[in-house]
A and B are shown apart, each in its own frame.
Chain A
């Protein structure tokens, strides 16, 4: 069963250019992409900066309206049927934003749990459980503004899991994390996925995508370039195209670079 269904999805932005006589300019961020994600899958969305990954995620999490096309999560339209979806999904954006930095980690999690209308007892138990999961129990009452980037990102992840979502969207969640922090995050993703959570992930880390994702979509300038398993995408890279030094072991990064650079036989 598809929990995410995207078909011919288009998103345009209208921006004003010029100081006084502003001219309207249409930016085509997503140009008719199609893919679906099955229940329990970890699905990767890869692409360069500005490829349209974040815009696609924003449409999926009910934050942004599609210009045209189908954009469904759990069988409901993300624009118009938001109420049917919001309680069952959550999202994590990379970076240090998305939290109340003057509040403690515990206060942040409690507040966001309240926005998911969780009963007090369940909320308190869930908050403690998540603080333990991300290893922040000892610092739970410290203001987030004093946290390192990695610790802030861990609070973000705990926030994203607060409602035990059926579908978790993660936009570059390991950005800025040190190797140990990134490893911890990957383990967390695998753990929540093993409990049945479907994960849609964007990342620039090809090793991460290869290790975690069952299938991958590569987009460039708003268009879909490839959609397959990491092994199949790597398999498309012919030895002729692979660098001699890496012919023995073709990585997802090799395949990705070839695809994005315009290697049409990948």
Chain B
């Protein structure tokens, strides 16, 4: 069986497992509704551009991030508790492929939350959806998903090393959404925090998405180049991190709860 099959079956198993959890269904269907209301009320009297950029895209991205990051981090926790983490880690198949398959599975399901957010926003607030460059919006969305996947891999590797998965998972959700500018421009943050925002690929992906909506907010290349660079840096870091966790998790004995 080829590596692609390991990837595909891990993805399908993940989707089956995840979708059978009521908490995930809540995160997928109800979460976007609540996020849309919060952001919709915040931007009720704002411009049409802002509505699309921060309510429609903002709630979509926030929901997408919640689903991907929470599921990926939560899965490490669940797999550790059910003693399957040690089994998949000790299997002949490459652990990286298994984990990537799981994240792909979460991403496919999480896309539902993104589109639901858009649906809720248009249904509840009936604002016109004005997008200046639809092809760019689709391309930027694809890049944003890749950026989220890279971040999820990075986080999942880090969480393999520690048993305190739930603490880190909860610490990540909202700060990350704020720092990366999902719901308001990062320019509203203190300058020192903005430097921190620039490290993460989703920050640039979000700006690129906003550019596709307004074409005035930010420039294309000013966001595309940093996005590609930060994605490459995190991908290299994740590859390096894997080499460390592969050794360290066996030295520290963190693969199971016993």
Contacts and interface: CB of A to CB of B under 8 A. Distances in A.
Interface of A: 13, 54, 58, 61-65, 79, 82-83, 86-87, 91, 93, 95, 97-103, 107, 110-112, 114-120, 123
Nearest to A171: B258
B90 A63 contact: yes
SS class, residues of chain B in contact with chain A: helix
B90 A98 contact: no
Contact of A103 (B6, B13, B250): B13
B13 A115 contact: no
B109 to A, nearest CB: 14
Interface in B59-91: 81-84, 86-91
24 contacts: A54-B258, A58-B86, A61-B90, A63-B89, A63-B255, A63-B256, A64-B250, A65-B247, A95-B83, A98-B83, A98-B87, A100-B82, A101-B82, A102-B16, A102-B17, A102-B20, A103-B17, A107-B16, A111-B9, A111-B10, A112-B91, A114-B5, A114-B93, A117-B6
Of A86, A95, A100, the most chain B CB neighbours within 10 A belong to A100
A54 B86 CA distance: 13
B92 interface: yes
Contacts of A93: 83
Contacts of A111: 9-10, 13
Contacts of B17: 100, 102-103
A123 B1 contact: yes
A83 B92 CA distance: 7
A67 B91 CA distance: 22
B146 to A, nearest CB: 25
Given A64-B253, A100-B17, A100-B82, 4 more contacts: A13-B253, A111-B10, A112-B91, A114-B6
B202 to A, nearest CB: 30
A124 B247 CA distance: 34
Nearest to B5: A114
